[in-house]
Amino acid sequence: MPIKNQVIKTPAEWILKLRDTPLFRDIPEDQLIEISKYTAVTQYGSEEIIFREGDVGEQIVFQLDGRSLLFLGNVEKPTVLTEGKPGDCFGEMAVIDQQPRSASLKTIEPTHFLTIDRLNFEQLIMGGHSRFSINLMKFLSQRIRQTDILLIEMLQKKNSTLEETLALLKKTQNELLQKERLSTLGRMASMIVHDLKSPLTSVSTLGYVLSHQDLSNEQRINYGKLLNEEITRLVEMIEEILLFAKDQSNLHLKPTDVSQLLKRLRDAMERSTQGWDVQWNITDDVKADLHLDSDRIYRALANLCKNSWEALKAAQTQLPQIDVDVHETEESLEFSVRDNGPGIPEEIHDSLFDAFVTSGKPQGTGLGLAIVKKVVNDHRGLIECKSSPENGTTFKISIPKIIPLSS
């Protein structure tokens, strides 16, 4: 059980035990006894707090015997600074600069401390005890050096811990990236095999029919058209896969006639939807040529139009309509692709531009919108999508007229 603090009235015999410590070294015995009049000796039990971090510094304490612990933080989980031993001095800085204490001190076992309160300490300094004052300056200089060394060691230890943690984080990150690459590769391989199987089967079947069956010219022409469509679809899918896999961001900027680009888009879309009653409205008010990577912009718009058409077809939308509009503002070129289809399912809206995300279309790689977003990002542009069952789906793309050279 802790011994209750008790002040011993005659500290002279105790202060003589400190004559070999830095503060009292080389001070004659008679002067030590004189100095002892400014001090008191207090006995503490085990695990008692002498002072706490943040307390006002009211006294300096000298450990006379026993063991103590100087620490930061709370008692339950302390950060130990040092273990005190007989002759050690604590709390002098808080008394001198009258600032809150920077650490806590507690006993480990029953211990005596000689204490000098702030007023008596000031009287000692101003009372002509020159040897004590010189010793104090030496002691403070040594303490500051020791504190610097301790802080440097603590910082080096923490830095070493941080470096180890950083190395572990990098290793974990690389492992996660590798797993993600393998996972992506697996998903990609699975979807490629699945999606290419259908057109390859069609090509194989049509090739067999054309080479082994007695066909009329009309039948041969029709089967030839079907074969060409399947090959075209196969080529487009392979192009999408290659575009995604290469992950190229270098733009080939050149003056682009937007009207000609849209004419090329209209011709391609009308050919691909020939035989289906869909209304294409493609308009622009762009007067001057603009510097774009026209092939990649065309591919992005074609992907958006293809997605719209496939959604309209799958939903069997009455009076299907796709509007493509391009206009320019003072700083940017604004594209929009709008359809009157059923809208995009809400559950995939947030991941719409991720690779391999699809809304259940029977064909495609799931890379179309990921490629569109990449084209827009490489042009330092923005893309957004608004979709609802009532109003269909609208994609809006904004491309700056002046694209940084770093692109």
CATH number at residue 223: 1.10.287
d(CA 160, CA 348): 44
Residues 62 and 91: beta-carbon distance below 8 Å:
no
Element (H, E) at 174: helix 130-212
End residue of a domain, out of 197, 213, 244:
244
Same domain, 288 and 343: yes
End residue of a domain, out of 80, 113, 128:
128
Reported confidence tier of residue 188, pLDDT bands at 50, 70, 90? low
End residue of a domain, out of 244, 263, 296:
244
CATH number at residue 370: 3.30.565.10
Same domain, 167 and 118: no
pLDDT at 238: 76
Q: pLDDT tens digits, residue range 193-226?
A: 666 776 788 788 888 888 876 788 888 888 888 8
User: Mean pLDDT across the chain, nearest whole number?
Assistant: 83
Other CB atoms within a 10 A radius of the CB of residue 371 amount to: 21
Reported confidence tier of residue 407, pLDDT bands at 50, 70, 90? very low
Match 């009258």 to its residue by tokens: 98
Same domain, 275 and 343: yes
Same domain, 240 and 255: no
Same domain, 214 and 101: no
Residues 389 and 343: beta-carbon distance below 8 Å:
yes
Examine residue 138 and state whether it is found in any structural domain, yes or no: no
Q: Which residues make Cβ contacts (< 8 Å) with residue 258, sequence separation at least 6? A: 284, 286, 289, 290, 326, 333
Which has the higher per-residue pLDDT, 215 or 304? 304
d(CA 14, CA 23): 14
Examine residue 324 and state whether it is found in any structural domain, yes or no: yes
Examine residue 142 and state whether it is found in any structural domain, yes or no: no
Examine residue 140 and state whether it is found in any structural domain, yes or no: no
Residue 287 has pLDDT above 90, yes or no: no
Examine residue 135 and state whether it is found in any structural domain, yes or no: no
**Partners of residue 314 on adjacent β-strands:** none
Same domain, 229 and 287: no
- In terms of residue numbers, what domain contains 387? 249-400
d(CA 301, CA 261): 10
Cite the DSSP H helix spans in 316-382.
368-378
Which has the higher per-residue pLDDT, 7 or 105? 105
Tokens of 300: 């992005």
Q: Which residues make Cβ contacts (< 8 Å) with residue 247, sequence separation at least 6? A: 374
Same domain, 84 and 188: no
What is the number of domains present in the chain?
A: 3
Reported confidence tier of residue 245, pLDDT bands at 50, 70, 90? low
Examine residue 139 and state whether it is found in any structural domain, yes or no: no
Reported confidence tier of residue 248, pLDDT bands at 50, 70, 90? low
Examine residue 145 and state whether it is found in any structural domain, yes or no: no
d(CA 66, CA 107): 8
Q: At what angle do helices 130-212 and 29-36 cross, to 10 degrees?
A: 70
pTM here?
0.48
Same domain, 87 and 69: yes
Which has the higher per-residue pLDDT, 1 or 4? 4
